[in-house]
Structure 1
Amino acid sequence: MTDIRVPTLGESVTEATVGQWLVKEGDTVNADDPVVELETDKVSVNVPAPSAGTIIKIAAQEGDTVELDALLAQLEEGAGSAKSNGSANGNGKAAAASSAAGSSAGEEIEVVAPSSGESVTEADIGEWLVKVGDQVSQDDTLLSLETDKAAVDVPSPVSGIVKEIRFDEGATVTPGTVLAIISTSDDVPASAPAKPAAPAQSSSSASAAKLTPASERVVKEHGVDPAGITGTGKDGRITKGDALAYVKSGGDAAQAPAQAKPAAPRDLGPREERVKMSRLRQTIARRLKESQNTAAMLTTFNDVDMTAVMETRSQYKELFEKKHGVKLGFMSFFVKACCHALREIPDVNAEIDGTDIIYKDHYDVGIAVGTEKGLVVPVLRDADQKSLAQIEKDIADFGRRGREGTLTMEEMQGGTFTITNGGIYGSLLSTPILNMPQSGILGMHRIEKRPVVINDQVVVRPMMYLAMSYDHRIVDGKGAVTFLVRVKENLEDPQRLLLDL
């Protein structure tokens, strides 16, 4: 029997929501056939069957939230095929699960600390849910680990008895560290006995009960009031990440009032409907609010005469499409104009890291793409080195796959600057919000004919308002205005791009 588990979804993604099952129990599948769609906060991912066989169990239902390496389904392979030991999921459990497959009575299996992403090098043991001597079934949660980003439950790789627990709650461990030992046995029950429910907490001890050992240590070290911290862990527990975020935001029992507790859901009217926000929409909301709370954001405006670009596009659009197989749009001109300006004003292409500034000698431009599920920002790598045709092809591909939900995590990470076009929806003017940790974002708007004065004559020209939002902590007003003027000049006289002026 082969387990189908949640794969690694990207360095900052720790959980996903089961979107739609493409198979049901009893169905036969081929190797690499998609069996379930997972929805993360950034993209939808299809999980393939690791081998040919029959789906004998579906362990996670549509709408469930599952963490990395959680069991999704079990597959009985075709007769005569070699038993798969599962994919290398990068969380340290593969070896344990593989050795458990052919375990004999009394074999000891190690439970190791999983990896929680490339940027996470350690975690704190939050809470043990079992003790030595307890019987557990495969995939039962043994303990929770807390990083500065998320709380992760560690499941048992096999059914057996907890023989040894090597670390106490609050201890700091690194990925791959052995946390516990499970002893297997042929007569271990198929299901571990249900654990008794914890007694109700009194109101006076409710705040203390929500703290895990790791978050309690942060609270004590910084002298903050836990009553003001909103817990995002299981059952509302305050994780280490929650406590650190509260401290970073300036929360203090003596100085900052307690955060308001979420209000109870209000009653719905006869013509109202309550729909849970998708994980993508929740992440968009959180990241935009974080951007406003973190950056000293300011917006400067200008307008650009689009006559030259529109005439160039009108003159060559048929020949361009015939040769390159893609339509010549406006976005490629803006990408080129921005890359040219970023070279001159490097602060706009940089980011703040603590008390340091990281300057970047590459120009990876994020292009905001609207989809039915929300806004995604795939990245044009080395956009300064791409031709107009390649930029248009990449943007068209991003738009198509964004609507299909097939963009990958890697394609939406690591941008140095972002362009968003509200003009396609009819927007005349807006103030775009920074895509942190980037320091600048350009907002395009609709083109409309307006009277302007040129050489003391009032003429009608196709004009577009441009909005440049920037982080004033790193970009001065002079730099931001100069950047926007350079973009304007490059668009009004595209030959400047050819001559590198």
Structure 2
Amino acid sequence: MAIEIKAPSFPESVADGTVATWHKKPGDAVKRDELIVDIETDKVVLEVLAEADGVLGAIVAEEGATVLSNQLLGSIEEGGAAAAPAAAAPASAAAAPAQAAAPAAAPAAAAGDEDAIGAPAARKLAEENGINLASVKGTGKDGRVTKEDVVAAIEAKKSAPAAAPAAKPSATAAAPVAAAGDRTEKRVPMTRLRAKVAERLVEAQSNMAMLTTFNEVDMTEVMALRSKYKDLFEKSHNGVRLGFMSFFVKAATEALKRFPAVNASIDGSDIVYHGYADVGVAVSSDRGLVVPVLRNAEQMSLAEIEGGIATFGKKARDGKLSIDEMTGGTFTITNGGTFGSMMSTPIVNPPQAAILGMHNILQRPMAINGQVVIRPMMYLALSYDHRLIDGKEAVTFLVTIKNLLEDPARLLLDI
């Protein structure tokens, strides 16, 4: 019985997807809930799992093909995996006469009877690792191959490629070697995610009156608070670590309450003011920049913010972020300081009206009360849509964040 493999149902915000990677080839055995194919959309990579045990049949949508919601990708022949050994038996039997001259000491192996060659655990392990059971020397009773014999064969297989070049120096010498200074090029297709990011960045700069204002914040108090309580914080909140991002999210949500235009968006000829702060946190992944959203961040504690960010970071690295987790957002924070950036002008993520850029913390000489002292300083950048936010609002918003961070007690006292 053939079971259809279909693309997932895409949400309204995603028009189509691209077949990124088939993890199985036609004829390969598959197990229920095993990953078969990845579908890459503009926002995330969706995984398609097998609905039953069997064998992968024909592939209808090859890698690189554009597919729509619920479009047919291929099929699974249910129960095909169990039938495969039986189908192979006649071929083995036909080969037996040709091996009649083989020594009588190994009749089981000559007949291709795997039950006589190895134990069930050994057969399974050999099949999973592409090992020909008949080629493994058995150390068990009557020469049967044990699981330990297969493990030894796997290790030998792994080490074989490394030893091969040394065994054939002439072949290595004959291989073409790129000369120093060669102008090599490599062309690879842009992923849908990166293409979509590029499209939105160009769209933002083309359709928005974007402007950036800067300020700097003395991180002395935040760093002292973090240093004093980080161990107790982690112990009290089940391993959640206290970082700097939670302070910035907390300060930003407080500032957004005071300056609602920064948290607003433009919809046609209307301004939409949001009575909540869904803060997007820009995260770098192997597939490109993604921005998962902390919903109702204004109601979250420092521990909840840090826990949410840690979860998003892990999901981004594993490619497990869902479309819902990256949809929406009323304001975004990006931290270029993670990579050592000292200054940048972040680009607003439409339809949002503003984005806050954090940067590297550097020890710099500062004039404090008429004296030069060394302080840990960070530059802040706020890019905003000048159609919606006036310069005075943007500057005051950034100063509010600066004041809240330089005196964190303000966050508790709401002043």
Displacement of 1:386 after TM fit? 1.1
Could you tell me which residue of structure 2 aligns to residue 492 of structure 1? 406
Q: Which amino acid aligns with 1:296?
A: A
Could you tell me which residue of structure 2 aligns to residue 453 of structure 1? 367
Q: Which amino acid aligns with 2:56?
A: I
Identity within the alignment, %: 59
1:452 aligned counterpart, secondary structure: strand
Could you tell me which residue of structure 2 aligns to residue 397 of structure 1? 311
Q: Which amino acid aligns with 1:77?
A: E
1:460 aligned counterpart, secondary structure: strand
Structure showing the higher helix proportion among its residues? 2
1:51 aligns with 2:48: no
1:468 aligns with 2:371: no
CA distance, structure 2, for counterparts of residue 64 and residue 355 of structure 1 = 38
Displacement of 1:53 after TM fit? 3.4
1:453 aligned counterpart, secondary structure: strand
Q: What is the CA deviation profile of residues 226-259 of structure 1, one whole-angstrom value per residue up to 9, with x for unaligned ones? A: xxxxxxxxxxxxxxxxxxxxxxxxxxxxxxxxxx
200, 204, 220: which one pairs with 1:307? 220
Displacement of 1:70 after TM fit? 2.1
Displacement of 1:78 after TM fit? 4.1
On the 8 A contact 1:364/1:382 being kept in 2, the answer is: yes
335, 353, 366: which one pairs with 1:439? 353
CA distance, structure 2, for counterparts of residue 71 and residue 9 of structure 1 = 14
227, 251, 257: which one pairs with 1:343? 257
CA distance, structure 1, for counterparts of residue 345 and residue 29 of structure 2 = 52
Q: Which amino acid aligns with 1:294?
A: N
CA distance, structure 2, for counterparts of residue 54 and residue 374 of structure 1 = 34
- Structure 1, gaps ≥5 residues long: 80-268
Q: Which amino acid aligns with 2:277?
A: Y
Could you tell me which residue of structure 1 aligns to residue 8 of structure 2? 7
Displacement of 1:25 after TM fit? 1.9
Displacement of 1:17 after TM fit? 1.7
1:298 aligns with 2:299: no
Displacement of 1:69 after TM fit? 2.4
Could you tell me which residue of structure 2 aligns to residue 321 of structure 1? 234
CA distance, structure 2, for counterparts of residue 447 and residue 28 of structure 1 = 53
Matches within 5 A, 1:116-127: none
Matches within 5 A, 1:99-498: 270-324=183-237, 325-498=239-412
Displacement of 1:304 after TM fit? 0.3
Could you tell me which residue of structure 2 aligns to residue 231 of structure 1? none
CA distance, structure 1, for counterparts of residue 245 and residue 27 of structure 2 = 49
On the 8 A contact 1:309/1:492 being kept in 2, the answer is: yes
Aligned length: 312
CA distance, structure 2, for counterparts of residue 10 and residue 466 of structure 1 = 36
On the 8 A contact 1:346/1:359 being kept in 2, the answer is: yes
Q: Could you tell which deviates more after superposition, 441-450 or 22-31?
A: 22-31
On the 8 A contact 1:9/1:409 being kept in 2, the answer is: no
CA distance, structure 2, for counterparts of residue 295 and residue 26 of structure 1 = 52
2:194 aligned counterpart, secondary structure: helix
Give the greater-gyration-radius structure (CA). 2
On the 8 A contact 1:296/1:473 being kept in 2, the answer is: yes
Displacement of 1:460 after TM fit? 1.1
The normalised TM-score by structure 1 is 0.61
Q: Could you tell which deviates more after superposition, 411-420 or 51-60?
A: 51-60
Alignment root-mean-square deviation, CA = 1.4
Displacement of 1:31 after TM fit? 3.4
Q: What is the CA deviation profile of residues 34-87 of structure 1, one whole-angstrom value per residue up to 9, with x for unaligned ones? A: 2111111211111112334332211122222222222111123349xxxxxxxx
CA distance, structure 1, for counterparts of residue 204 and residue 25 of structure 2 = 42
CA distance, structure 1, for counterparts of residue 57 and residue 190 of structure 2 = 32
Q: Which amino acid aligns with 1:463?
A: M
Q: What is the CA deviation profile of residues 393-438 of structure 1, one whole-angstrom value per residue up to 9, with x for unaligned ones? A: 1111111110111100000011000000000111111100000000
CA distance, structure 2, for counterparts of residue 10 and residue 402 of structure 1 = 20
Displacement of 1:26 after TM fit? 2.5
Could you tell me which residue of structure 2 aligns to residue 29 of structure 1? 30
Q: Which amino acid aligns with 2:209?
A: A
Displacement of 1:270 after TM fit? 4.1
Displacement of 1:288 after TM fit? 0.1
Q: Which amino acid aligns with 1:369?
A: V
Q: What is the CA deviation profile of residues 353-385 of structure 1, one whole-angstrom value per residue up to 9, with x for unaligned ones? A: 010000000111000001111100000011111
On the 8 A contact 1:372/1:403 being kept in 2, the answer is: yes
Q: Which amino acid aligns with 1:385?
A: Q
Could you tell me which residue of structure 2 aligns to residue 178 of structure 1? none
- Structure 2, gaps ≥5 residues long: 81-181
Q: Does 1 or 2 have the higher relative contact order (CA < 8 Å, sep 6+)?
A: 2
Q: What is the CA deviation profile of residues 342-362 of structure 1, one whole-angstrom value per residue up to 9, with x for unaligned ones? A: 000000000000100000001
CA distance, structure 1, for counterparts of residue 70 and residue 366 of structure 2 = 61
CA distance, structure 1, for counterparts of residue 343 and residue 77 of structure 2 = 58
Q: Could you tell which deviates more after superposition, 60-69 or 458-467?
A: 60-69
